[in-house]
Homo-oligomer: A and B are copies of this chain.
């Protein structure tokens, strides 16, 4: 279903994946007059609903990837559900991938992420990736304490694939369920707060680092993001330096999200994602240049835009699918009554817990911005009532 409509001039960027990240990247591409194609699983994918030039096919299929790559000048991706071996195959065939297959091979596998961080001397939780069976998990727990955390090395997202394990019995049960999967076992770290830092880097090495955000997660799902995070200048600087270091050590091209924990002993790096990320949605209205625009600029080796905040404080609240399957579109009018609420809805079918949209508020006061973002998101989720006039 590829359609032969292209803007004048410039390279064609192909995005593998057509969810909300591709949808918002596509929006950024419209402004710059870029030609952006999408590889969507289905025509109902969030980005496929709004884009002119959509090819359908599975990101798991090398044939589909090859067919898609043939019509693009540069390829990027919005999720990790791709076989890195396929990306290496495309690269060998002469296609330009940004980030490249080597970066994907690292970030798609949580064990390899850790190798990079350890090599760079970045603080990480105690961990092991030598997990043959439950005995290895129990031995790790006995050495580093219980509870501990077991993670799927590949394919987890939004809290899926992360398991907190309390004792040897739970470990036995879980390892039966996860038989055959590659695992990472790590110490459970008492967390004071969770942070994220977004970095954009282009092939020339130019690199910009966004202001550090605090993220509020529940059940492994991001609920809120806000900035400035209540941190000392030292921790803010450390977090940004860690983000830059990871990007440079991997020779990253595109945007990178680095998730960090604040612990009693300082910062610990948790995980990486080499793509636009939920902890950067606030950059659309809250920063001079959004993560989506800077991802496209980086991928096309164009000068990167300023990452600074446009206001004093920025807050983002996710719109997650309600238990009753309410379509947030039905509450759009109520949400737009909230002053300064920038509502984003992704056009996705409502399902409980699914990320259906988000709301950003830029303001002078962080608490007020957070309250307004939460109120508008709550109205869209049906968890809040309209305020009496």
Contacts and interface: CB of A to CB of B under 8 A. Distances in A.
Contacts of A33: 328-329, 332, 343-347, 357
Contacts of A50: 7, 30, 51-52
The complex is assembled from copies of this chain, and their number is 2
Contacts of A151: none
Interface stretch (A152-160, A216-224, A305-313): A305-313
Interface in A21-56: 23, 26-27, 30-33, 43-44, 48-52, 54
Interface stretch (A62-70, A83-91, A95-103, A334-342): A334-342
A115 to B, nearest CB: 35
Interface in A211-262: none
A328 to B, nearest CB: 8
Contacts of A306: 339-340
Contact of A31 (B305, B344, B348, B362): B344
A5 interface: yes
A147 to B, nearest CB: 39
A8 B357 CA distance: 12
B43 A347 contact: no
A92 to B, nearest CB: 29
Interface residues on A, range: 35 or more
A293 to B, nearest CB: 9
A297 interface: yes
A54 B340 CA distance: 31
Contact of A10 (B32, B310, B329): B329
A5 B332 contact: no
A288 B340 contact: yes
A65 B21 CA distance: 35
A333 B5 contact: no
A330 interface: yes
Contacts of A349: 8
B32 A343 contact: yes
Contacts of A357: 33
Given A5-B44, A327-B8, A32 B332 contact: yes
Nearest to A380: B33
A9 interface: yes
19 contacts: A5-B49, A6-B49, A7-B347, A8-B327, A8-B329, A8-B350, A9-B330, A31-B343, A32-B343, A32-B344, A33-B343, A33-B345, A52-B52, A288-B340, A297-B336, A303-B333, A305-B340, A306-B339, A306-B340
Report, nearest first, the 6 A-B pairs whose CB atoms are least far apart: A33-B345, A7-B347, A9-B329, A303-B336, A9-B327, A303-B337
